[in-house]
Amino acid sequence: QSALTQPASVSGSPGQSITISCTGTSSDVGSYNYVSWYQQHPGKAPKLMIYDVSNRPSGVSNRFSGSKSGNTASLTISGLQAEDEADYYCSSYTGSSTPIFGGGTKLTVL
């Protein structure tokens, strides 16, 4: 069971939009609309930002959006703000009823 593939790092300037990809296989991302995204600031617990590919929990800014095409899911952050600088992890449900995580992406706000 290999981890989902994410870019190690992405960066953007305040106000810009960035997209983080999360690539899996036909056994996980490609087969289920059960991709979730988590934001983690240093020393803090992860926070759910997106679930079931594109749903936002109550209280999460609408600057965060999710999508999926084939075996790749994406998280887009629009109107980038300094507070968005964090690590981001994707997760997907798999055919064996177990979730797997991506390796994580460090977002730097320039």
Partner 1 sequence: QEQLQESGPGLVKPSETLSLICTVSGGSISSYYWSWIRQPPGKGLEWIGYIDFSGITNYNPSLKSRVTISIHTSENQFSLKLSSVTAADTAVYYCARVPVATYFDYWGQGTLVTVSS
Where do contacts with partner 1 occur on this chain (CB under 8 A)? 1, 3, 32, 34, 36, 38, 44-48, 51-52, 57, 89, 91, 93, 96-104
Q: How far is the CB of 51 from partner 1 (least distance, A)?
A: 4
Q: Which is nearer to partner 1, 14 or 99 (CB)?
A: 99
CB 99 within 8 A of CB 1: no
Helix H segments across 11-81?
none
Q: Which is nearer to partner 1, 9 or 17 (CB)?
A: 9
Q: How far is the CB of 41 from partner 1 (least distance, A)?
A: 12
Handedness of CA 95, 101, 102, 103 (dihedral sign): negative
Handedness of CA 74, 91, 102, 49 (dihedral sign): positive
Q: What is the dihedral of CA 41, 47, 49, 52, to 10 degrees?
A: 140
Q: How far is the CB of 38 from partner 1 (least distance, A)?
A: 7
Q: Which is nearer to partner 1, 18 or 49 (CB)?
A: 49
CB 84 within 8 A of CB 46: no
Q: Which is nearer to partner 1, 35 or 77 (CB)?
A: 35
Q: How far is the CB of 63 from partner 1 (least distance, A)?
A: 20
